[in-house]
Chains A and B, each alone.
Chain A
């Protein structure tokens, strides 16, 4: 606490876990008592230890008291491979003791004495009590248990020590300890068909705002990596969004012409089409215009960086050289079981870290695959786009259509088209007995564009767009045919989006 006249202001105690501190708006409140709850295996002990080691690294002191029969020696063995583990912290600044036998012999009163002595003796600014549920089991009555929680709170506040109580949780809907403590952090494993997703939720946090809802996390050798749900983390862009009338070239001059000069700067755009049509090629040409002062990122899921470099070479793009001089960064997440919010945060981090101006995301389908709840996708893309736009990035994202040919031109998620400022449509169509690639622009927000369908080819210089199609209709259905009624305006004129 800090004195401000007669008023004591609660100080934040960062957990040192970036995602959790973001969710907590800066950390726990000093001198508060917090429950960390979750069934066995959800990562309570790892989380508490990670916070403890981080607390020590920030100059604090920790007493870690376990009431479980299990040995903390074994626990420390499990922690040793974790990157946050610092052997030199023990025992000087991080002190592990067992209260199991004291609980058995002296009951809750003995534990209160033990906690108070450990806080004082170790000059602890953080106390962890592992096995909190056993204190309730040891209480002779609900009244005694409440008294115990109250006494722990009183000592924590008086000694300005933040307390974490680790528990498997109570079966009761409203437990007395939940009403008494300053906050509750719930950890959960949820099964989605074959895969599980770990989530963290703040059920209660007295005296502070926090990011609501479930936030996914994973446990790696770096400990807990928590990814605040994108829709809440970037509900308001972290920087002020500024409108720019500038255009960014797509790297394909003839496409820029159709777009009215390129895609609008600091916008999110989509390129939609079937597999193999040329979306990735467009992406490579787009990021190829990056420079050290206007860096670009190719954020992909399908082709490995090595394959992309080889492909770029066939298009006359020296991707390796662009990477070497800092113009382009290729980030590749091979398809697997990703966490959607992690991908969102990685994209934002990639843009922030290098001041990225051009970003190609290849592609949207992999993001959908990562979502345990695909219903989120529209809100997710909307929020993420707002943040990337505010960071001055101009994004093009590939979106794969289900059918190689056919009439379906529906975007993969409902409401997606309204979020994108620009939309480029690529299709295969049959003209005169040949399969041809055609491209059209269907949307550039608040701007004119050429709406005509054009045939394009992929040659040694990449995408080369030819003239507008004449004398046929229905090309978007995949099968061009002679027009039933020839209209004089069928091939002429510029379009304006509604």
Chain B
């Protein structure tokens, strides 16, 4: 079973994505901000990270930067999501594989995850 780490300070968003991803057969880890996400990464290395941009304590840009600076996590694909447009994020963060503007349908996220993970391994979650 593939593991997805969902990082978002918004309780409602995390709950919705958690349910959708679990229904789709993924194992899901959650974190409320970038700092918690780094702790989660140490505990369980996920196959993919879905991260919000604006979060307290450590934002999505800092999280991606920390991941790309660490050989352990450098290759984990990241999908960024934000209520702000992608153009506003680009100057702060790079090295992510996809972007979703909030709000979005859970199906859109599932499609992105599938398209990123399938070339890496099989096309559907184990």
Instruction: A71 to B53: give the CA distance in the assembly, Å.
Output: 14
Instruction: A92 to B53: give the CA distance in the assembly, Å.
Output: 11
Instruction: A100 to B54: give the CA distance in the assembly, Å.
Output: 14
Nearest Cβ on chain B to A102's Cβ, whole angstroms: 7
A-contacting residues, B40-73, CB 8 Å: 53-57, 59
A101 to B11, Cβ gap below 8 A? yes
CB 8 Å contact bits of B10-23 with A (1 = contact, 0 = none)? 11110000000000
Contacts of A92 in B (CB 8 A): 88
A91 to B88, Cβ gap below 8 A? yes
Contacts of B89 in A (CB 8 A): 91
Instruction: A98 to B9: give the CA distance in the assembly, Å.
Output: 5
Is B3 positioned at the interface, with any CB of A under 8 Å from its CB? Answer: no
Closest residue of B by beta carbon distance from A105: B32
Instruction: A65 to B32: give the CA distance in the assembly, Å.
Output: 14
Contacts of B55 in A (CB 8 A): 97-98
Partner of A91, one of B13, B54, B57: B54
Instruction: A325 to B124: give the CA distance in the assembly, Å.
Output: 73
Contacts of B10 in A (CB 8 A): 71-73, 98, 100
Is B25 positioned at the interface, with any CB of A under 8 Å from its CB? Answer: no
The verdict on A114 contacting B56 (CB below 8 Å), with A91-B84, A96-B83 known, is: yes
Instruction: A95 to B57: give the CA distance in the assembly, Å.
Output: 12
Partner of B11, one of A69, A91, A97: A69
Contacts of B53 in A (CB 8 A): 91
CB 8 Å contact bits of A85-101 with B (1 = contact, 0 = none)? 00110111001111111
B11 to A95, Cβ gap below 8 A? no
Instruction: A97 to B103: give the CA distance in the assembly, Å.
Output: 15
Contacts of B84 in A (CB 8 A): 87, 90-91
B88 to A74, Cβ gap below 8 A? no
B85 to A77, Cβ gap below 8 A? no
Is A461 positioned at the interface, with any CB of B under 8 Å from its CB? Answer: no
Nearest Cβ on chain A to B17's Cβ, whole angstroms: 12
Identify whether the interface residues of B are mostly helix, strand, loop, or mixed: loop
Partner of A73, one of B59, B92, B103: B103
Instruction: A65 to B10: give the CA distance in the assembly, Å.
Output: 11
B-contacting residues, A240-278, CB 8 Å: none
Is A171 positioned at the interface, with any CB of B under 8 Å from its CB? Answer: no
Nearest Cβ on chain A to B105's Cβ, whole angstroms: 13
B-contacting residues, A467-491, CB 8 Å: none
Instruction: A453 to B92: give the CA distance in the assembly, Å.
Output: 81
B13 to A73, Cβ gap below 8 A? yes
Is B2 positioned at the interface, with any CB of A under 8 Å from its CB? Answer: no
A100 to B56, Cβ gap below 8 A? no
Contacts of A102 in B (CB 8 A): 32, 56
Q: Which of A88, A91, A114 has the most CB of B within 10 A?
A: A91
Q: Which of A65, A70, A77, A90 has the most CB of B within 10 A?
A: A90
Closest residue of A by beta carbon distance from B53: A91
A97 to B56, Cβ gap below 8 A? yes
Is A118 positioned at the interface, with any CB of B under 8 Å from its CB? Answer: yes
B56 to A70, Cβ gap below 8 A? no
Is A310 positioned at the interface, with any CB of B under 8 Å from its CB? Answer: no
B54 to A71, Cβ gap below 8 A? no
The verdict on A95 contacting B12 (CB below 8 Å), with A87-B84, A90-B83, A102-B32 known, is: no
The verdict on A76 contacting B83 (CB below 8 Å), with A98-B11, A100-B11, A101-B11 known, is: yes
Contacts of A114 in B (CB 8 A): 56-57
Instruction: A114 to B59: give the CA distance in the assembly, Å.
Output: 13
A71 to B12, Cβ gap below 8 A? yes
Is B102 positioned at the interface, with any CB of A under 8 Å from its CB? Answer: yes
B85 to A87, Cβ gap below 8 A? yes
Is A25 positioned at the interface, with any CB of B under 8 Å from its CB? Answer: no
Contacts of B12 in A (CB 8 A): 69-71
Is A117 positioned at the interface, with any CB of B under 8 Å from its CB? Answer: yes
A91 to B82, Cβ gap below 8 A? yes
The verdict on A117 contacting B56 (CB below 8 Å), with A69-B11, A74-B103, A96-B83 known, is: yes
Instruction: A65 to B55: give the CA distance in the assembly, Å.
Output: 10
Nearest Cβ on chain A to B99's Cβ, whole angstroms: 14
Instruction: A276 to B96: give the CA distance in the assembly, Å.
Output: 73
CB 8 Å contact bits of A66-83 with B (1 = contact, 0 = none)? 000111111011000000
Contacts of B56 in A (CB 8 A): 65, 97-99, 102, 114, 117-118
Contacts of A73 in B (CB 8 A): 10, 13, 83, 102-103
A117 to B83, Cβ gap below 8 A? no
Contacts of A70 in B (CB 8 A): 12
Instruction: A74 to B89: give the CA distance in the assembly, Å.
Output: 19
Q: Which of B53, B82, B84, B89 has the most CB of A within 10 A?
A: B84
A74-B103, A88-B88, A98-B10 given; name 13 further pairs at CB < 8 Å.
A69-B11, A69-B12, A72-B10, A73-B10, A73-B102, A76-B83, A77-B103, A91-B54, A91-B82, A98-B11, A100-B9, A105-B32, A114-B57
Q: Can you name 23 A-B residue pairings with CB atoms under 8 Å?
A: A70-B12, A71-B12, A71-B13, A72-B10, A73-B10, A73-B83, A74-B103, A76-B83, A87-B85, A87-B88, A90-B84, A91-B53, A91-B54, A91-B59, A91-B89, A96-B54, A97-B9, A98-B9, A98-B56, A99-B9, A99-B56, A102-B32, A118-B56
Closest 7 CB pairs of A and B: A98-B9, A73-B102, A101-B32, A90-B84, A97-B56, A73-B83, A71-B12
Taking beta carbons and an 8 Å cutoff, which residues of A are in contact with B? 65, 69-74, 76-77, 87-88, 90-92, 95-102, 105, 114, 117-118
